[in-house]
């Protein structure tokens, strides 16, 4: 199932604009929370620039309960990638894709902007720019992996993957498991 999240309920901009200043995030519905943040960033961009970036959230698969604390961690990673895309990419389009798969949870933030310098992606740090390192460290802390692909004038894609065993509170149906006794398939 693939669905695009249309016009989320509006939450006051100060709620998501700088959540790190308050030290808390409400992410019971990850897709809606990220849609609100992206729409807020797009609205701010429209207020200061004539050409605003198109923004969308695409969700694939039926949402599954994530392990406690994961929605907030995923939100922080996606929020950093979104802020960077809106601030630096000069993109015409920015998209978030959330996939609740049987084998892994995947989140992608991609844009069609100017791309990131390959040296910055490989170094992960330069004075005043610690975002990639921080995002990768946060991904590792939750049992995930963060990959970044970028090409000059072709955009950037940030992908977070978390294996089902680290991501979901309950194992998804159809996942093969192994016990000492035998292999088996979990069914819903």
Packed helices 131-141 and 70-88: angle between N→C axes, nearest 10 degrees: 160
Find the domain containing 71 and state its range.
Answer: 2-185
Q: For the residues 151-178, what does the mean pLDDT come to?
A: 83
Number of domains in the chain: 1
CATH code for the domain in which residue 49 is found: 3.30.565.10
Q: pTM value?
A: 0.75
- What tens digit of pLDDT does each residue of 54-76 get? 999 999 999 999 999 899 999 99
């Amino acid at each position: 199932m693939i669905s695009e999240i249309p016009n989320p309920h509006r939450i006051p901009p100060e709620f998501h604009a700088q959540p790190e200043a308050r030290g808390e995030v409400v992410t019971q519905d990850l897709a809606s929370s990220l849609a609100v943040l992206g729409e807020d960033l797009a609205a701010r961009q429209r207020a200061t620039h004539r050409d605003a970036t198109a923004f969308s959230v695409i969700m694939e698969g039926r949402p599954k309960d994530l392990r406690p604390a994961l929605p907030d961690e995923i939100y922080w990673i996606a929020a950093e990638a979104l802020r960077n895309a809106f601030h630096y990419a000069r993109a015409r389009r920015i998209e978030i894709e959330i996939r609740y798969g049987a084998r892994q949870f995947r989140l992608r933030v991609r844009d069609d902007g100017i791309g990131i310098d390959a040296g910055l992606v490989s170094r992960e740090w330069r004075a005043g720019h610690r975002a990639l390192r921080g995002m990768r460290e946060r991904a590792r802390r939750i049992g995930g992996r963060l990959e970044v692909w970028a090409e000059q004038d072709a955009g950037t894609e940030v992908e977070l993957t978390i294996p089902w065993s680290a991501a979901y509170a309950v194992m998804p149906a159809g996942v093969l498991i192994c016990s000492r006794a035998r292999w088996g398939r979990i069914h819903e």
